Each structure stands twice: as structure tokens, then as C-alpha cells.
Amino acid sequence: ACVRSNSNRAAISHLHRQLYGRRYPLLLVNTDGSTVRLRYSEPKRILMLPLDSSTLPEAERKARLRRHFPSKPKPKEEETFEGIDLDTYKKFWKK
């Protein structure tokens, strides 16, 4: 399997490299919402720092956990025909 390293190969897929030769502009968002513009080694537009959940109040921490891990959907109860008067719908059964 011969691999060609020319411009046509780069046009079909992305360049397979671990390190990029230049620095790219990046917007870094801190946990308090403040932003900083800096140069980053990978081409990304925005990078958000993770929020430390140990510094949050207990109610907000539980609310964030509920948003990240929602509860399982409850099974729906099937409808029963016990309380329905079938004589009212008898006209629809006629051909």
C-alpha cells in the first residue's frame, strides 16, 4: 500500500499530523464567564474550562447533575376499554 504525500491527498482528507506548525487564535472561556483570547496549537475556535462542582452550592450542584443525567422515562399505562360505551361507536362499524 503506497501512500502519496502530495496536495491531492490533502484535498480528499485531512492532514495526518500530531503537531501543527503554527499557532491559531482561540477564545478561552473561564468558569466565571470571562473570556481571554490566546494562541493555541490546534485549530479550534472556542475552549471552555470545566466547572468545579465542589465550589457550587448544593442546590445548583444537584440541578446540574439532574440535567446531565436525566431520569429514565416512566412506562406509560395502556388504555383500557372498560369505561367506554361501545354502542356510541357502533355506526362506524357498519359497512
Is 92 a residue whose pLDDT tops 70?
yes
Domain ranges of the chain: 20-70
Do residues 26 and 6 make contact, with C-beta atoms less than 8 angstroms apart? no
Inform me whether the pLDDT recorded for 61 exceeds 70.
Answer: yes
The answer on pLDDT for 46 being more than 80 is: yes
Least Cα distance to 42 among 8, 5, 13, 15 occurs for 15
Percent of the chain with pLDDT over 90: 15
The backbone region for 89, taken as left when phi is positive above 0, alpha when psi lies in -120 to 50, beta otherwise, is alpha
Handedness of CA 81, 82, 83, 85 (dihedral sign): positive
CB 40 within 8 Å of CB 47: yes
Regarding pTM above 0.75, the answer is no
Which amino acid makes up residue 57? P
Predicted pLDDT at 26: 92
